[in-house]
Amino acid sequence: MSIDNTVKILQNKGYKMTHRRNEIISYFSESDGYRTAKNLYEHMEDKFPGISYDTVYRNLHLFHDLNILESTSLNAEKHFRLNCSDHHHHHFICSTCGKTKKINICPMDDIGNMLKGYTIDDHKFEVYGLCPDCQKAS
């Protein structure tokens, strides 16, 4: 998800590209993993002293609604990452650093008619543990 691409998506819907939004996209582009609102806020504070949590959450939600970010709930706190929606897949998530690795299998392929009569809206498959780097560090 490039900055240019984001500008287009925003402008198509009447939203503006601001310095803060630009920095948010940069932050996630360099992150390659799940980050919390607080992580982002602390990063933004350095670049924009006095930034409001309102700005952080407003933009997280906006980007999520626009499919620029995806989210997951871990320990009852929401975590966000760039949406890598080129093709459907799931993630291994490192419990320490939040970095992710793609998993190219989807259990829904095998669900068959196991849920006949149920409406399926969404699903989640995530694997948690330590990435190689965090294993070394501990």
Partner DNA sequence: TTACAAGTCGGAATGATTACGATATACTTG
Partner DNA sequence: CAAGTATATCGTAATCATTCCGACTTGTAA
- Kindly list the residues in this chain that would bind a copy of itself in the complex (CB under 8 A): 73-78, 90, 92, 95, 101, 103-108, 110-111, 114-115, 117-132, 135
- Say how many CA atoms lie within 13 Å of 105 toward its Cβ: 4
Q: Does 67 bind DNA (CB under 7 A)?
A: no
3 CB contacts (<8 Å, ≥6 apart)?
Answer: 22, 25, 26
Interaction between residue 14 and DNA (CB under 7 A): yes
Cα–Cα dist 36/2, whole Å: 21
Q: Which of a copy of itself, DNA, none has residue 29 at its interface (CB below 5 to 8 Å by kind)?
A: none
Nearer to a copy of itself, 18 or 95 (CB): 95
The answer to whether 4 contacts DNA (rule: CB under 7 A) is no
Q: Which is nearer to DNA, 59 or 100 (CB)?
A: 59
Question: Are the C-beta atoms of residues 16 and 10 closer than 8 Å to each other?
Answer: yes
* Shortest reach from residue 40's CB to DNA, in Å: 9
- Which entry of DNA, a copy of itself, none binds 1, CB below 5 to 8 A by partner kind? none
Identify residues 77-106 at the interface with DNA (CB under 7 A): 77-78
- Name the minimum Å distance from CB 57 to a copy of itself: 12
Task: State how far the alpha carbon of 86 is from the alpha carbons of 1, 14, 24, in Å.
Answer: 10, 25, 21
Per-residue CA distances from 77 to 44, 73, 74, 80 (Å): 19, 5, 5, 10
